[in-house]
């Protein structure tokens, strides 16, 4: 909880102000039963109308001051809550951005979304209640009992027994509920996960007529969420009935003993009424603990999940931004590199060594699961090797700052992702200061400029989320153009031309030759690989051959089978991307 609450430090003055208004309201509320006793003893019992009006006016004025204090407290509490929520969400988002790919993949997107929305909201609610009633309620209980002792000690003994019994029961419920709400939040993660998958795969679901199956799958996870929520709510909802039984029994006891004390002259009617008034106010304060318990239990579970994110180590960035070496020539060298994904029992890459000289074009071929995409992602240090070294210009990539490395090494992933906004916005994604001339040149080289000019608004045309209003080939060419803006030293293409026809692809590859960069591309087409200076052939995470098209034809049986397969001859090898 402490790791989450440190973001409250800038709002200490506002919190103090909120508590000041709350204490003002509380003091007046504790004073009112005494005023009521005065009205009864000095006014009603003595039939003194002047005393009734005098003390009544004082009581009304105090009530108005308490009302104003309550309003001011609510405004201050709301301000702190909203500012704190903003700061916490900002910190969480920045923390998630700092995670390595390996860590992000261990956390489901649905869980991250739930934590940044629902969990932050739960902590915000807890904070608001802390400033508004969570502290006021226990103080009212403690000082209400204390004031009852001031009025009449023997009558107050009844409350001194009833209140601790209620407090013990409340503590037991809080402990039980905290664990239960953690399970509720995990169930909510799963519901959000199913919903996210369903929305992302809506096209496929409709094409395969899987509507009813998806409805059943969602209903199953939603049922678990409902059952766990109902279970914890049943526990929490026992608070009010139990408290009312205990406290109402105490009030009846005060009435019985009070009648006896009035008759023997040891208590006045005003004193009995005052003690009963403190008892009813204490009962009302204890009843608030139903909501306070629920809010704190949920907030405690949510705070633990948020702290888990905030305390997790971020990605190691190497040298400070702007410091350390810079990528100049673009030579890529792997020295006995091995890599295993955290959740996998087998190595994705094993003892891989090769060199790609500056400004060369290298193609990577291999069957599904051969490790092609994994190899590509080690170059910009999206993952770090578990063994060996990856070097650029003779420098271990771990010695570059993340900013310098990834500005010089542009990666075009297998799954194209465009953002909602204009075409120009997407092209400037990696270089926000790029001029329109640079955007146009990159688009021309990526063979997408003519397509853009046919859009109604040209480079100002709006792109839907994930590029839903573009074809696969258009999205691939836009993503390549985006990588070319800023003149990268190393260009990584993860099967990024698969949706292009042969003529367009050939023009694109020829245009890339004009750039002073080293190009490494995963491909499943031999025709594409033939245009490369060198070809890397992977099988089961191992580099089994490297050379030009002619060299591999002469030396590699696997490469000959791949070529034969794509030429329609005998032999069969799956060369879809890993």
Give the model's pLDDT for residue 576: 41
In the prediction, which pLDDT does 326 show?
Answer: 83
In Å, the largest CA–CA distance within the chain is 119
Q: In the numeric block, which tokens belong to residue 157?
A: 């003994």
With contact defined as beta carbons under 8 Å apart, do 526 and 547 qualify? Answer: no
Position 431 scores a pLDDT of 86
SS3 assignment, position 454: coil
Please state the domain extents for the chain.
8-311, 332-566
Residues in the chain, pLDDT under 50:
321, 569-578
What is the tens place of the pLDDT at every residue in 200-224? 777 778 778 788 888 898 999 999 9
d(CA 89, CA 120): 7
d(CA 387, CA 407): 25
Token duo for residue 75: 């405004």
Q: Ramachandran region of residue 287, left (φ > 0), alpha (ψ -120 to 50) or beta?
A: alpha
Residue 337 near residue 389, CB atoms below 8 Å? yes
The whole-number pLDDT of residue 394 equals 92
Whose tokens are 């006014």? That residue is 43
pLDDT at site 507: 92
What are the tokens at 336?
Answer: 């006995």
Partners of residue 411 on adjacent β-strands:
492
Is 8-311 CATH 1.10.30.50?
Answer: no
Q: Where is 254: in which H helix or E strand?
A: helix 239-263
In eight-state DSSP terms, residue 320 is P
DSSP conformation letters of 172-239: HHHHHHHHHHHHHHHHHHHHHHHHHHHHHTHHHHHHTT-HHHHHHHHHHHHHHHHHHHHHHHHHHTTH
**Residue 45 near residue 270, CB atoms below 8 Å:** yes
Which is nearest to 427 in space by CA: 362, 360, 500, 484?
484
The pLDDT value recorded for residue 319 is 54
Residue 320: what pLDDT? Answer: 53
CATH number of 332-566: 3.40.50.300
Per-residue pLDDT of 300-349, as tens digits, reads: 888 888 988 888 887 765 555 455 678 889 999 999 999 998 878 889 99
């Amino acid at each position: 909880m402490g790791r989450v609450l440190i973001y409250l430090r800038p709002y200490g003055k506002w919190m103090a102000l909120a508590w000041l208004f709350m204490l003002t309201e509380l003091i007046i509320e504790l004073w009112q039963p005494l005023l009521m006793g005065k009205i009864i003893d000095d006014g009603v019992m003595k039939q003194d109308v002047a005393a009734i009006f005098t003390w009544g006016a004082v009581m009304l004025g105090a009530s108005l001051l308490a009302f104003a204090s309550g309003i001011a407290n609510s405004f201050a509490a709301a301000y702190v809550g909203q500012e704190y929520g903003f700061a916490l969400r900002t910190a969480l988002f920045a923390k998630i951005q700092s995670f390595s790919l390996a860590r992000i993949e261990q956390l489901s997107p649905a869980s991250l979304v739930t934590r940044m929305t629902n969990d932050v909201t739960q902590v915000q609610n807890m904070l608001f209640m802390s400033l508004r009633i969570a502290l006021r309620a226990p103080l009212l209980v403690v000082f209400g009992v204390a004031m009852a002792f001031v009025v009449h000690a023997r009558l107050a003994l009844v409350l001194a027994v009833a209140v601790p019994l209620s407090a013990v029961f409340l503590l037991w419920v809080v402990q039980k509920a905290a664990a239960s709400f953690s399970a509720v939040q995990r169930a909510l993660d799963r519901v959000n996960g199913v919903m996210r998958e369903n929305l992302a795969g809506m096209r496929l679901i409709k094409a395969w007529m899987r509507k009813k199956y998806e409805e059943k799958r969602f209903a199953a996870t939603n049922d678990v969420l409902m059952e766990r929520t109902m279970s914890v709510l049943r526990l929490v909802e026992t608070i009010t009935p139990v408290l009312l039984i205990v406290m109402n029994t105490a009030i009846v006891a005060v009435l019985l003993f009070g009648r006896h004390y009035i008759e023997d002259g040891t208590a006045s009617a005003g004193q009995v009424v005052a003690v009963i008034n403190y008892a009813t106010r204490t009962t009302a304060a204890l009843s608030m603990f139903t909501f306070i318990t629920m809010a704190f239990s949920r907030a405690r579970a949510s705070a633990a999940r948020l702290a888990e994110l905030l305390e997790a180590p971020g990605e190691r960035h190497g040298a400070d931004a702007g410091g350390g070496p810079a990528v100049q020539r673009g030579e890529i060298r792997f020295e006995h590199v091995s890599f295993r994904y955290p959740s996998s029992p087998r190595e994705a890459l094993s003892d891989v060594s090769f060199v790609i000289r500056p400004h060369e074009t290298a193609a990577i071929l291999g069957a599904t699961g051969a490790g092609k995409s994994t190899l590509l992602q080690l170059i910009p240090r999206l993952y770090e090797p578990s063994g060996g070294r990856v070097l650029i210009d003779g420098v271990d990539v771990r010695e570059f700052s993340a900013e310098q490395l990834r500005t010089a090494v542009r990666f075009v992933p297998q799954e194209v992702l465009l953002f909602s906004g204009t075409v120009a916005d997407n092209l400037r994604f990696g270089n926000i200061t790029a001029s329109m001339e640079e955007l146009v040149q990159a688009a021309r080289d990526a063979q997408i400029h003519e397509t853009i000019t046919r859009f109604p608004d040209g480079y100002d045309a709006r792109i839907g989320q994930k590029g839903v209003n573009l074809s696969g080939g258009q999205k691939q060419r836009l993503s390549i153009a985006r990588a070319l803006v800023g003149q990268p030293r190393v260009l990584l293409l993860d099967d990024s031309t698969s949706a292009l026809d042969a003529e367009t692809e050939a023009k694109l590859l020829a245009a890339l030759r004009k750039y002073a960069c080293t190009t490494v591309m995963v491909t499943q087409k031999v025709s594409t690989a033939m245009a490369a200076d060198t070809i890397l052939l992977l099988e089961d995470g191992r580099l089994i051959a490297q050379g030009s098209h002619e060299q591999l034809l002469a030396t590699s049986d696997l490469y000959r089978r791949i070529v034969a397969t794509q030429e329609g001859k005998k032999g069969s090898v799956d060369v879809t991307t890993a």
